[in-house]
A = this chain, B = another copy of it.
Amino acid sequence: MSTISETDVKTRMRALDLIKENFKRLLDELDKSGKLHLVFPKRTLSNTIYDQKSKILLLGPDIQYRSFTDINEAKKFTQTILMASIIYKALRNNEYPTIRDLFYRGKHTISYTSIDGKKVSENSWDDQRESDSVIRDLEVFLNILREDLLILSKEKGKVVGNLIIKSGDDTIDLSKMGHGAYAIEPTPDLIDFIDVDAEYVLVVEKDAVFQQLHRYGFWKKNKVVLVTSAGQPDRATRRFVRRLSEEFKLPVYILCDSDPYGFYIYSVFKAGSITLSYESERLATPTAKFIGVTLTDIFGTEIFKEILRDPQIKNTLEEIAKDVLKLKSKEPYLSIEERRNFVIKAKLRDIERAVELVGYRVAEACIGSPEYRSKIKRKEGVSGYPWFLTPEWIRELCIFFYTTSKLEIEAITGKGLRFLADIYIPRKIENEDWID
């Protein structure tokens, strides 16, 4: 009996064929034109574009040529071929390498005598950044996710809910996980969704909050697929959520802390990450909503008017302030007493992180702390991510800078798990009180 799943056997054959095909084409071209080069979309920051229509980060139209006979490109060319051959061998040998393994496997020193007679030693690559970058190039060149080449990675995502899947040779009922959960596989494209009975997907940033909601039966009561990313989401969790959103048209809500770290987690789920922009098309969930916690949840929306009383702030914000004032207003969920006990003072690095999200203009206009004001340094090219430059986010971030406050999900569970599970989340969804 083979110990390896049918799914993996098939995936392996597909991947081998794909690599063979692509490199055969390379050789055919060499035969025809005498040229040996790789051609694929350029993976640079300047070729990363936020597509307003699909609302995700994508690669632009620039093309990368990597030629064997160009002295400036020969090393990179050779590295790419080396990596492709290591991956090919791993596939043939029934292996499941990680990117760390691939780094080790390719690491060696080449010694040779240069044209001018000197003895020279050079490493195939010196650190993992180099080999990782080559792996990304290969993903773009082959137009395939590394997971489909059976390159594995650690995986933090977990899920429970009325969801039956087939993974490997097993059919698994994710509503029968007891107090534990199903740890998502690192290759979520190989999952077959057999049956789903859910109203929406709730993604919780914090594993501990996931545990509480799970144990409380939140997903049973509300017909929810409950997922945790356990911090920054990894690729598999993002792909898993995206597939649920795409294949079953399930709404996706993200529950994070109200701080720039939480906002960024949402952003990665929704729009993609900049280094992996070439994969947003498969990993991002552009319909995902940030359900909370928000600073307006605890300060209400009136505070924004208070902020605007400062004429300088009003001037700097200009048009956007008007758009913000048109948003629905709301009452805070916490009393003043609770707010005082639950709110945490933002640190300088929180402020700096928030500046990256919305740019300097908002930060400089609103920042309430003289101590931090003097420390924020302008960096070239930081004008914020387009998807954070909406009235809803500007309002949140203005309150963040003005009060230098952040808030954890636990501030809501501090009022009771029932409050979080039976009032806060359902009411936010019912009132469409989220940020898109």
Assess whether A238 is interfacial by the CB under 8 Å rule: no
Interface size on A, as a range, is 35 or more
Q: Mark A132-164, 1 if CB is under 8 A from B, else 0.
A: 000000000000000000101111101000000
The reply to whether A96 and B212 form a contact with Cβ atoms under 8 Å apart is: yes
The reply to whether B183 and A178 form a contact with Cβ atoms under 8 Å apart is: no
Assess whether A46 is interfacial by the CB under 8 Å rule: no
The reply to whether A414 and B212 form a contact with Cβ atoms under 8 Å apart is: no
Q: Among the interface residues A190, A208, A408, which one has the most CB atoms of the partner chain B within 10 A?
A: A208
> Would A155 and B341 be within 8 Å (CB), given that A96-B417, A170-B178, A177-B182 are in contact?
no
Q: Mark A319-331, 1 if CB is under 8 A from B, else 0.
A: 0000000000000
CA distance A375 to B157 in the complex (A): 41
Assess whether A108 is interfacial by the CB under 8 Å rule: yes
The reply to whether A154 and B101 form a contact with Cβ atoms under 8 Å apart is: no
Choose from B5, B105, B182, B411 the contact partner of A414 (Cβ within 8 Å). B105
CA distance A48 to B169 in the complex (A): 49
Min CB gap A4→B, angstroms: 6
CA distance A220 to B230 in the complex (A): 29
The reply to whether B183 and A181 form a contact with Cβ atoms under 8 Å apart is: yes
The reply to whether B2 and A98 form a contact with Cβ atoms under 8 Å apart is: no
> Would A98 and B212 be within 8 Å (CB), given that A172-B176, A176-B170, A342-B104 are in contact?
yes
The reply to whether A216 and B94 form a contact with Cβ atoms under 8 Å apart is: yes
| Residues from chain B with Cβ under 8 Å of A176 in the complex | 170-172
Assess whether A259 is interfacial by the CB under 8 Å rule: no
The reply to whether B100 and A230 form a contact with Cβ atoms under 8 Å apart is: no
The reply to whether A178 and B212 form a contact with Cβ atoms under 8 Å apart is: no
Closest residue to A342 on the B side, CB-wise?
B104
Min CB gap A225→B, angstroms: 15
Assess whether A215 is interfacial by the CB under 8 Å rule: yes
The reply to whether B101 and A410 form a contact with Cβ atoms under 8 Å apart is: yes
Assess whether A416 is interfacial by the CB under 8 Å rule: yes
The reply to whether A172 and B178 form a contact with Cβ atoms under 8 Å apart is: yes
Assess whether A180 is interfacial by the CB under 8 Å rule: yes
| Residues from chain B with Cβ under 8 Å of A186 in the complex | 179, 211
Assess whether A187 is interfacial by the CB under 8 Å rule: yes
The reply to whether B4 and A217 form a contact with Cβ atoms under 8 Å apart is: yes
| Residues from chain B with Cβ under 8 Å of A8 in the complex | 179, 215
> Would A178 and B169 be within 8 Å (CB), given that A93-B418, A212-B98 are in contact?
yes
| Residues from chain B with Cβ under 8 Å of A5 in the complex | 178-179, 215
Assess whether A95 is interfacial by the CB under 8 Å rule: yes
Q: Mark A186-223, 1 if CB is under 8 A from B, else 0.
A: 11001100000000000000111101100111101100
The reply to whether A414 and B179 form a contact with Cβ atoms under 8 Å apart is: no
The reply to whether A215 and B96 form a contact with Cβ atoms under 8 Å apart is: yes
Choose from B105, B150, B172, B417 the contact partner of A180 (Cβ within 8 Å). B172
> Would A211 and B155 be within 8 Å (CB), given that A172-B180, A179-B185 are in contact?
yes
The reply to whether B154 and A179 form a contact with Cβ atoms under 8 Å apart is: no
| A-B residue pairs in contact (CB < 8 Å), sample of 17 | A4-B215, A5-B178, A5-B215, A8-B215, A95-B212, A95-B216, A98-B212, A109-B341, A153-B211, A154-B206, A154-B207, A167-B180, A170-B178, A172-B180, A181-B182, A181-B183, A181-B185
Beyond A94-B216, A95-B418, A104-B342: 11 further Cβ-contacts under 8 Å? A2-B217, A3-B216, A3-B217, A95-B416, A96-B212, A97-B417, A98-B410, A98-B413, A153-B211, A158-B183, A168-B179
The 5 residue pairs across chains A and B that have the minimum distance between CB atoms: A3-B217, A167-B178, A104-B414, A154-B207, A179-B185
